[in-house]
Structure 1
Amino acid sequence: MGGASKKPISNIEKRLKKEAETQQKKEKKKTSKTGNEIISKNITISDEMVKRVQDEIKKEKIITPYTLATKSNITLSVAKRILKDLSAQGTIKEAYRNRRTAVYVAV
Structure 2
Amino acid sequence: MGGASKKPISNIEKRIKKEAEAQQKKEKKKVSKTGNEVISKNITISDEMIKRVQEEIKKEKIITPYTLATKANITLSVAKRILKDLNEQGTIKEAFRNRRTAIYVAA
**TM-score w.r.t. structure 1 length?**
0.91
3-state DSSP of counterpart to 1:96: strand
Which one-letter code corresponds to 2:91 in the other structure? Answer: T
Q: Counterpart of 1:104?
A: 104
Query: Is 1:49 the equivalent of 2:49?
Result: yes
Aligned length: 107
Residues 1-107 of structure 1: matches in 2 within 5 Å? Answer: 1-2=1-2, 4-107=4-107
Structure 1, unaligned runs of 5 or more: none
What is the aligned-residue identity percentage?
89
Instruction: Give CA-to-partner distance per residue, 1:65-90, whole Å, 9 cap, x none.
Output: 11111111111111111101111111
Q: CA separation in 2, counterparts of 1:2 and 1:54?
A: 76
State the AA in 1 paired with 2:22: T
The amino acid across from 2:55 in the alignment is D
1:19-48 residue CA offsets vs partner (Å, 9 max, x unmatched) = 101111111111112111111111111111
Q: 2: distance between equivalents of 1:3 and 1:13? A: 23
> C-alpha displacement at 1:5, in angstroms?
3.4
After superposition, the CA RMSD in angstroms is 1.3
Match of 1:65, as an amino acid? P
Letter in 2 for 1:19: E
Aligned equivalents of 2:103, 2:58: Cα separation in 1 = 15
Q: Any unmatched runs of 5+ in structure 2?
A: none
Q: Which amino acid in 1 is paired with 2:19?
A: E
